Each structure stands twice: as structure tokens, then as C-alpha cells.
Amino acid sequence: MEPYSKITFNSHEKFSDKETLQQVTYQMIDIIKKYCEPISLYCFGVQNRSSFSNTLFTNEELPQNSSWHFYLLLISDRLRSNSTANLMDLLEKDSVGRISVTLICYSPTQIKSSNNEHLHFFAKVIQSGWLVYGKPYELAKLNLTNLPDLDFEGITKYSVTRIEVAQDLIKLISHSDSPVIASTLIHTVIEQLCIGMLYAFLYYHPNHFHLNFLLKLCSLFSSAPDQFFLQNAGYSETLQKMLNTSRHDLRFRNTDIYSKNDLNVLKSICIGFSEALIPCIEERLNELKIQTK
């Protein structure tokens, strides 16, 4: 599988009978421009989800709800502190949940000073992504031309280390009776697996570590994030609580955030997630190994 082969979008998909993807994109851009001044906005993935209504009195299924999720690289000279999280929350709120984004925000200076693997990621998105707003960036101005070859051995070593860390933490989780300790370990396992996957597939270290953000990026390459977390979060208060709890909150917490029953559920989900995600990462690393020969 080639890198980015699952990062696709289809401009002919329908948001509803009356709204095309292009119209939804304009709505998204208008909302982003209310809170930020982008130089360029590149889309490197789109997902559409619809739920349908069927009754005893109709022969056809009619769209009831439809929503779009965009994966975006936003380039701007004016990025506020925590702009990634703020913009994602504001856009979903302003669109009443119809439009959501996974947003990667960088200034031109930050892109130019990135490591080689990150430069490959940015170059791929700018060259092959969908420019939805602004002017196309010249790769040379961002130091994205004549890039050295990717360090596949370094990428593999990094991702393997993330897997090893996660596996050792899972062993600790099974022996922990403290909800505070166990919840911190579970959070870290999910984070480490996601970071390992993103570096193996995208060659990218995220600059934002909220679990929802990491899982949504990983869903480009695996169904496991949706299967174990994202699809069920709306129906489970326990999952919602976990996905909305920050690492910062866990770091300083001295009271239990989950009951023991909640933790048993989360432990099971965490183990199932790791068993589904690790083989996917390892398969990708085997592909990289072949490329180094």
C-alpha cells in the first residue's frame, strides 16, 4: 500500500439533496475565516456519514441526517495558542454538528523548520491535496523541494518503540486496582499506539494530542478507531468522558474519574483496540522494510 493511498475525497458525493460537497466546503471556509486568517487551506481527506429514516408508510429510505468530516492542513501566519482545538470545536458548534474537521495548523516558518519526515508529509499534502482556500504555495518557499530520502529505519524504530511502550503499559493496567493510575495508563496506551501509527503511515508527529484528534487521524488507515471508540462515543458516557479528558487533567488528578465498572469496560476496549491496531502498524512497517532493501 502506498503512503496516503487511503487519503481520498470525492467531489461528487452529496451532503443532502440540496447541498453538494462544494457548498459544504464554502460553509466550512466561511466559519474558519471568522476565527482565523488562513493563507492556504489544503484538504487531504473527506468522510461523509448519513443516517436514514424508514417507516411503515414509505417504500424508500429518506436521508434524515448527514454530516461531513474534513481533514485539513491550515497554513497561517497568525495562529493563536491552542488554535487547533479551538477551531475544531468552533466549527462543529457553528455548523450544529453537520461539519467537523481534523485540523493540522502550521505557520510557514514552522513548516520550513520541520524535520525531514515532516517535510515529506507537508510536500505530499500540498502537491496532492485539494486546495480549498487561498493560493497554492510554492514548494521551494517552504523548503519542500529536493528533499532527502525518508529514513525508513528510523521511522520503523520509532513506531516499534511506541508499540513496545503500549504493550508494557497494558500489562500494568491488568494489575492496577487504582482508577487514577489505570485511567492514566489506558489514556497513554491509546496515545502511544496512535502516534506509532501516524509516524508509520504519514511520517508525522502530531502537535496536538487530544485522543479524539489522534483517533480521527488514525481512522484514515484503520477501522479500529471507529470500531472501538468513535462510533460508540455518542452512546457511552464512559467513552465520552475518556475521549474528552485531557492528559493535563490526568497528570494532576488525585480523585477517581471512573468507577471500577467503567474501568473494566475501558480496559477491555483498550486491549481490543491494541490487538486490532498493532497488526495494522506491523504490516505497514513490513512494507517500509521492503522499501529499504
Find the Cα–Cα–Cα–Cα dihedral 133, 139, 144, 145, rounded to 10°.
150
Q: How many CB atoms lie within 10 A of CB 152?
A: 19
Band of pLDDT at residue 275, cut at 50, 70 and 90: very high
Q: Is the pLDDT of residue 63 over 70?
A: no
Q: Where are the extended beta strands (E) located within 26-61?
A: 40-53
Architecture in CATH of 21-142: 2-Layer Sandwich (3.30)
pLDDT given for residue 286 in this prediction: 93
Please tell me which of 159-173, 202-216, 260-274 the model is most confident about, judged by mean pLDDT: 159-173
DSSP for 174-220 reads: HT---HHHHHHHHHHHHHHHHHHHHHHHH----S---HHHHHHHHTT
pLDDT given for residue 50 in this prediction: 65
pLDDT given for residue 84 in this prediction: 77
Comparing 238 with 185, the larger pLDDT belongs to: 185
Find the Cα–Cα–Cα–Cα dihedral 206, 212, 217, 222, rounded to 10°.
130
Band of pLDDT at residue 253, cut at 50, 70 and 90: confident
Taking residues 175-186, what's their average pLDDT? 85
Q: Is the pLDDT of residue 51 over 80?
A: no
The predicted-structure confidence for 109-165, as pLDDT tens digits, reads as follows 999 999 989 999 999 999 999 999 998 888 999 999 999 999 999 999 999 999 999
Whether the Cβ atoms of residue 131 and residue 40 lie closer than 8 Å to each other: yes
Q: Is the pLDDT of residue 254 over 80?
A: no
The mean predicted confidence, pLDDT, of the chain is 83
DSSP single-letter state for residue 20: B
Q: How many CB atoms lie within 10 A of CB 41?
A: 24
User: Phi/psi class of residue 274: alpha, beta or left (left: φ > 0; alpha: ψ in -120 to 50)?
Assistant: alpha
pLDDT given for residue 194 in this prediction: 97
Band of pLDDT at residue 10, cut at 50, 70 and 90: very low
Q: Which fold has domain 152-292?
A: Four Helix Bundle (Hemerythrin (Met), subunit A) (1.20.120)
Comparing 135 with 258, the larger pLDDT belongs to: 135
Band of pLDDT at residue 18, cut at 50, 70 and 90: very low
Please tell me which of 4-13, 190-199, 228-237 the model is most confident about, judged by mean pLDDT: 190-199
Domains in the chain: boundaries: 21-142, 152-292
Q: Could you give the percent of the chain with pLDDT greater than 90?
A: 46
pLDDT given for residue 233 in this prediction: 63
The amino acid at residue 245 is: T
The predicted-structure confidence for 216-229, as pLDDT tens digits, reads as follows 999 999 999 999 98
pLDDT given for residue 12 in this prediction: 36
Q: Is the pLDDT of residue 75 over 90?
A: yes
- Strands 40-53 vs 62-75: parallel, antiparallel or unpaired: antiparallel
